[in-house]
Protein backbone atom coordinates (compact mmCIF):
# COMPACT_ATOMS: atom_id res chain seq x y z
CA UNK A 1 0.00 0.00 0.00
CA UNK A 2 1.53 3.37 -0.97
CA UNK A 3 2.48 5.71 1.88
CA UNK A 4 0.98 9.08 1.00
CA UNK A 5 2.96 12.00 2.39
CA UNK A 6 6.12 9.90 2.50
CA UNK A 7 8.88 8.47 0.31
CA UNK A 8 8.03 5.26 -1.56
CA UNK A 9 10.12 2.89 -3.65
CA UNK A 10 8.10 2.43 -6.83
CA UNK A 11 8.72 0.77 -10.18
CA UNK A 12 8.34 2.60 -13.49
CA UNK A 13 5.73 0.87 -15.65
CA UNK A 14 5.90 2.96 -18.80
CA UNK A 15 6.52 6.40 -20.28
CA UNK A 16 3.93 8.68 -21.89
CA UNK A 17 4.35 12.00 -23.69
CA UNK A 18 4.21 14.00 -20.47
CA UNK A 19 4.76 11.51 -17.68
CA UNK A 20 5.96 8.25 -16.27
CA UNK A 21 3.46 5.84 -14.79
CA UNK A 22 4.52 4.16 -11.55
CA UNK A 23 3.26 0.87 -10.19
CA UNK A 24 1.63 0.56 -6.75
CA UNK A 25 -0.69 -1.77 -4.84
CA UNK A 26 -3.56 0.62 -5.52
CA UNK A 27 -2.99 1.13 -9.22
CA UNK A 28 -0.86 3.39 -11.37
CA UNK A 29 0.52 6.66 -10.02
CA UNK A 30 1.19 9.67 -12.24
CA UNK A 31 4.73 11.14 -12.27
CA UNK A 32 4.85 14.24 -14.47
CA UNK A 33 8.14 14.67 -16.28
CA UNK A 34 8.50 18.08 -14.63
CA UNK A 35 8.56 16.21 -11.31
CA UNK A 36 11.15 13.63 -12.43
CA UNK A 37 14.20 15.85 -11.92
CA UNK A 38 14.63 15.25 -15.67
CA UNK A 39 15.96 11.76 -15.08
CA UNK A 40 16.00 9.42 -18.07
CA UNK A 41 13.75 6.70 -16.78
CA UNK A 42 12.56 3.54 -18.43
CA UNK A 43 10.27 0.66 -17.60
CA UNK A 44 11.62 -1.46 -14.77
CA UNK A 45 13.54 1.35 -13.04
CA UNK A 46 12.82 1.76 -9.32
CA UNK A 47 12.54 5.35 -8.05
CA UNK A 48 12.24 7.00 -4.64
CA UNK A 49 9.07 9.04 -5.02
CA UNK A 50 7.18 11.30 -2.63
CA UNK A 51 3.42 10.83 -2.92
CA UNK A 52 0.95 13.68 -2.56
CA UNK A 53 -2.39 14.89 -3.89
CA UNK A 54 -2.20 17.39 -6.75
CA UNK A 55 -4.42 20.46 -7.14
CA UNK A 56 -7.17 18.30 -8.64
CA UNK A 57 -7.09 15.87 -5.73
CA UNK A 58 -5.38 13.10 -7.72
CA UNK A 59 -2.63 10.97 -6.23
CA UNK A 60 0.66 12.04 -7.82
CA UNK A 61 4.39 11.51 -7.37
CA UNK A 62 7.49 13.67 -7.40
CA UNK A 63 11.17 12.80 -7.30
CA UNK A 64 11.97 16.13 -5.68
CA UNK A 65 12.97 15.76 -2.04
CA UNK A 66 10.37 17.28 0.31
CA UNK A 67 11.38 19.18 3.42
CA UNK A 68 8.70 17.38 5.41
CA UNK A 69 7.05 13.94 5.48
CA UNK A 70 4.45 12.27 7.69
CA UNK A 71 7.33 10.82 9.71
CA UNK A 72 9.50 13.95 9.79
CA UNK A 73 8.15 17.32 10.97
CA UNK A 74 9.98 20.41 9.78
CA UNK A 75 10.41 24.16 10.17
CA UNK A 76 8.76 25.52 7.02
CA UNK A 77 8.65 29.00 5.52
CA UNK A 78 5.39 30.78 4.78
CA UNK A 79 5.02 31.31 1.03
CA UNK A 80 1.54 32.79 0.77
CA UNK A 81 -1.43 33.91 2.84
CA UNK A 82 -5.04 33.38 1.77
CA UNK A 83 -7.33 34.95 4.33
CA UNK A 84 -10.26 32.60 3.64
CA UNK A 85 -8.13 29.46 3.83
CA UNK A 86 -5.03 30.00 5.97
CA UNK A 87 -1.34 30.14 5.11
CA UNK A 88 0.61 28.08 2.60
CA UNK A 89 4.02 26.70 3.57
CA UNK A 90 6.87 25.89 1.21
CA UNK A 91 7.63 22.18 1.52
CA UNK A 92 10.32 21.74 -1.14
CA UNK A 93 8.12 20.48 -3.98
CA UNK A 94 5.97 22.30 -6.54
CA UNK A 95 2.89 22.13 -4.30
CA UNK A 96 2.70 24.19 -1.11
CA UNK A 97 1.26 22.87 2.15
CA UNK A 98 -1.85 24.43 3.70
CA UNK A 99 -2.01 25.34 7.37
CA UNK A 100 -5.73 25.92 7.83
CA UNK A 101 -7.15 29.10 9.32
CA UNK A 102 -8.87 26.77 11.82
CA UNK A 103 -5.42 26.10 13.30
CA UNK A 104 -4.46 29.78 13.42
CA UNK A 105 -5.37 32.48 15.97
CA UNK A 106 -8.72 34.25 15.63
CA UNK A 107 -6.80 37.52 15.71
CA UNK A 108 -5.29 37.75 12.22
CA UNK A 109 -2.64 40.16 13.52
CA UNK A 110 -1.13 37.07 15.15
CA UNK A 111 -1.01 35.12 11.87
CA UNK A 112 2.42 34.40 10.38
CA UNK A 113 3.60 36.58 7.50
CA UNK A 114 5.33 35.64 4.25
CA UNK A 115 8.91 34.64 5.06
CA UNK A 116 8.13 33.62 8.65
CA UNK A 117 8.67 30.02 9.76
CA UNK A 118 6.62 27.49 11.73
CA UNK A 119 7.50 24.04 13.03
CA UNK A 120 4.78 21.78 11.65
CA UNK A 121 3.92 18.15 11.08
CA UNK A 122 2.32 16.65 7.98
CA UNK A 123 -1.10 15.01 8.19
CA UNK A 124 -3.09 13.25 5.48
CA UNK A 125 -6.84 13.90 5.45
CA UNK A 126 -7.89 13.36 1.85
CA UNK A 127 -5.12 15.85 1.10
CA UNK A 128 -1.88 16.91 2.71
CA UNK A 129 -2.29 19.46 5.51
CA UNK A 130 0.03 21.03 8.06
CA UNK A 131 -0.52 21.05 11.81
CA UNK A 132 1.45 23.19 14.25
CA UNK A 133 3.64 20.97 16.43
CA UNK A 134 2.99 21.10 20.17
CA UNK A 135 6.49 21.72 21.53
CA UNK A 136 5.69 19.48 24.51
CA UNK A 137 5.99 16.60 22.04
CA UNK A 138 9.51 17.60 20.99
CA UNK A 139 12.53 16.01 22.63
CA UNK A 140 14.39 18.59 24.67
CA UNK A 141 17.89 19.56 23.54
CA UNK A 142 20.44 20.74 26.11
CA UNK A 143 22.63 22.67 23.69
CA UNK A 144 22.13 26.24 24.93
CA UNK A 145 24.04 28.12 27.61
CA UNK A 146 23.04 30.99 29.88
CA UNK A 147 23.58 34.37 28.14
CA UNK A 148 23.53 32.77 24.69
CA UNK A 149 21.72 34.92 22.13
CA UNK A 150 20.12 33.09 19.23
CA UNK A 151 17.42 33.46 16.59
CA UNK A 152 14.12 31.73 17.37
CA UNK A 153 10.68 31.62 15.77
CA UNK A 154 7.44 32.20 17.67
CA UNK A 155 5.61 28.86 17.76
CA UNK A 156 2.84 29.62 20.24
CA UNK A 157 1.36 32.72 21.86
CA UNK A 158 -0.07 31.90 25.27
CA UNK A 159 -1.45 33.74 28.28
CA UNK A 160 1.85 33.36 30.15
CA UNK A 161 4.18 34.14 27.27
CA UNK A 162 5.75 32.87 24.06
CA UNK A 163 6.98 29.40 23.13
CA UNK A 164 9.70 29.53 20.49
CA UNK A 165 11.79 27.13 18.41
CA UNK A 166 15.15 27.57 16.66
CA UNK A 167 16.39 26.29 13.30
CA UNK A 168 18.17 23.58 15.31
CA UNK A 169 14.85 22.69 17.00
CA UNK A 170 15.90 24.02 20.38
CA UNK A 171 12.95 25.16 22.48
CA UNK A 172 12.68 28.16 24.78
CA UNK A 173 9.94 29.95 26.73
CA UNK A 174 9.76 33.72 27.17
CA UNK A 175 7.48 34.89 29.98
CA UNK A 176 5.34 37.90 29.14
CA UNK A 177 7.28 39.96 31.68
CA UNK A 178 10.37 39.41 29.55
CA UNK A 179 9.13 41.12 26.40
CA UNK A 180 7.26 44.24 25.35
CA UNK A 181 4.93 44.76 22.43
CA UNK A 182 3.07 42.26 20.30
CA UNK A 183 4.40 39.32 18.32
CA UNK A 184 2.89 36.98 15.74
CA UNK A 185 3.31 33.30 14.93
CA UNK A 186 6.39 32.46 12.91
CA UNK A 187 8.08 35.77 13.69
CA UNK A 188 11.87 35.61 13.93
CA UNK A 189 13.36 37.17 17.06
CA UNK A 190 16.66 37.12 18.91
CA UNK A 191 16.27 35.57 22.36
CA UNK A 192 18.76 35.76 25.22
CA UNK A 193 18.89 32.63 27.38
CA UNK A 194 18.45 33.68 31.02
CA UNK A 195 17.55 30.44 32.79
CA UNK A 196 17.33 26.66 32.68
CA UNK A 197 15.26 24.27 34.78
CA UNK A 198 13.79 20.80 34.55
CA UNK A 199 11.05 22.38 32.43
CA UNK A 200 13.53 23.69 29.88
CA UNK A 201 15.11 27.00 28.88
CA UNK A 202 13.71 30.44 29.62
CA UNK A 203 14.68 33.57 27.78
CA UNK A 204 14.23 37.29 27.36
CA UNK A 205 13.48 39.55 24.42
CA UNK A 206 14.30 42.59 26.54
CA UNK A 207 17.81 43.99 26.52
CA UNK A 208 19.45 44.40 29.94
CA UNK A 209 19.23 48.19 29.77
CA UNK A 210 15.49 47.90 29.14
CA UNK A 211 15.08 45.49 32.06
CA UNK A 212 16.77 48.00 34.33
CA UNK A 213 14.58 50.75 32.93
CA UNK A 214 11.43 48.80 33.78
CA UNK A 215 12.74 48.09 37.31
CA UNK A 216 13.60 51.78 37.79
CA UNK A 217 10.21 52.83 36.46
CA UNK A 218 8.50 50.50 38.91
CA UNK A 219 10.46 52.02 41.79
CA UNK A 220 9.40 55.53 40.76
CA UNK A 221 5.79 54.40 40.38
CA UNK A 222 5.80 52.89 43.87
CA UNK A 223 6.86 56.29 45.25
CA UNK A 224 4.23 58.15 43.21
CA UNK A 225 1.44 55.76 44.21
CA UNK A 226 2.23 56.60 47.82
CA UNK A 227 2.87 60.35 47.57
CA UNK A 228 1.13 61.28 44.26
CA UNK A 229 3.97 63.60 43.25
CA UNK A 230 7.74 63.67 43.20
CA UNK A 231 9.86 66.87 43.49
CA UNK A 232 12.11 65.76 40.62
CA UNK A 233 12.07 66.11 36.82
CA UNK A 234 14.35 65.09 33.98
CA UNK A 235 16.29 68.29 34.66
CA UNK A 236 17.11 67.35 38.25
CA UNK A 237 20.76 66.81 39.16
CA UNK A 238 22.31 63.46 40.07
CA UNK A 239 22.55 64.61 43.69
CA UNK A 240 18.84 65.46 43.78
CA UNK A 241 17.90 62.10 42.23
CA UNK A 242 20.03 60.21 44.75
CA UNK A 243 18.10 61.76 47.64
CA UNK A 244 15.12 59.67 46.56
CA UNK A 245 16.48 56.79 44.49
CA UNK A 246 19.60 54.68 44.17
CA UNK A 247 19.97 55.23 40.43
CA UNK A 248 21.97 57.43 38.09
CA UNK A 249 20.51 60.56 36.51
CA UNK A 250 20.65 58.83 33.13
CA UNK A 251 18.72 55.81 34.43
CA UNK A 252 16.21 58.12 36.12
CA UNK A 253 15.59 59.99 32.86
CA UNK A 254 15.13 56.71 30.96
CA UNK A 255 12.59 55.49 33.51
CA UNK A 256 10.72 58.81 33.48
CA UNK A 257 10.60 58.65 29.69
CA UNK A 258 9.03 55.20 29.86
CA UNK A 259 6.40 56.31 32.37
CA UNK A 260 5.57 59.38 30.30
CA UNK A 261 5.28 57.27 27.14
CA UNK A 262 2.87 54.98 28.98
CA UNK A 263 0.88 58.07 30.06
CA UNK A 264 1.36 57.31 33.74
CA UNK A 265 3.01 60.61 34.70
CA UNK A 266 2.99 64.29 33.77
CA UNK A 267 5.36 67.12 34.62
CA UNK A 268 5.44 70.65 35.98
CA UNK A 269 8.53 72.84 36.10
CA UNK A 270 9.65 71.25 39.35
CA UNK A 271 7.66 68.05 39.86
CA UNK A 272 6.65 64.73 38.37
CA UNK A 273 2.96 64.05 38.98
CA UNK A 274 1.09 60.75 38.95
CA UNK A 275 -1.78 60.68 36.47
CA UNK A 276 -4.75 59.26 38.35
CA UNK A 277 -6.54 56.14 37.11
CA UNK A 278 -9.53 57.98 35.69
CA UNK A 279 -7.37 60.33 33.64
CA UNK A 280 -5.06 57.48 32.61
CA UNK A 281 -7.99 55.59 31.07
CA UNK A 282 -8.92 58.38 28.66
Residue pair 121/82 in contact (Cβ under 8 Å)? The answer is no
Whether residue 91 lies inside any domain: the answer is yes
Whether residue 67 lies inside any domain: the answer is no
Name the residue among 245, 251, 176 with its Cα closest to residue 213. 251
Whether residue 68 lies inside any domain: the answer is no
pLDDT in tens, 156-199: 999 999 999 999 999 999 998 888 778 999 999 999 999 999 88
How distant is the alpha carbon of residue 88 from its chain centre?
15
User: What one-character DSSP code corresponds to residue 69?
Assistant: B
Q: How far is 266 from 244, CA to CA, in rounded Å?
A: 18
Whether residue 1 lies inside any domain: the answer is no
pLDDT in tens, 131-142: 999 998 898 888
Please tell me the total count of domains within the chain: 4
The answer to which of 32-36, 94-98, 116-120, 210-214 has the lowest mean pLDDT is 210-214
What's the helix, strand, coil split of the chain in %, to 5? 20, 35, 40
Rama region for 132: left / alpha / beta (φ>0; ψ in -120 to 50; rest):
beta
* Structural domain ending residue among the three candidates 207, 229, 253: 207
Please report how many Cα atoms fall inside a 13 Å half-sphere around the Cα of residue 25, on the Cβ side. 6
Q: Which domain holds residue 125?
A: 74-133
Name the residue among 155, 146, 145, 151 with its Cα closest to residue 190. 151
Whether residue 230 lies inside any domain: the answer is yes
Could you give the angle at the alpha carbon of 46 between the alpha carbons of 45 and 50, nearest 5°? Answer: 130
Amino acid sequence: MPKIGNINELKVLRETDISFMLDSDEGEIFLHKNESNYQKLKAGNVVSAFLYYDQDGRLAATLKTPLITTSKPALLEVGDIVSKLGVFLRMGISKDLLLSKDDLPLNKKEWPQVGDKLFVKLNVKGRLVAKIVDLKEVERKETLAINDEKEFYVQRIGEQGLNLVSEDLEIIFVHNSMYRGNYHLGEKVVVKVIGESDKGYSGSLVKQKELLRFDDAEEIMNYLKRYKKLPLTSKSSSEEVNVYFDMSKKAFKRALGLLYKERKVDFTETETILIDGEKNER
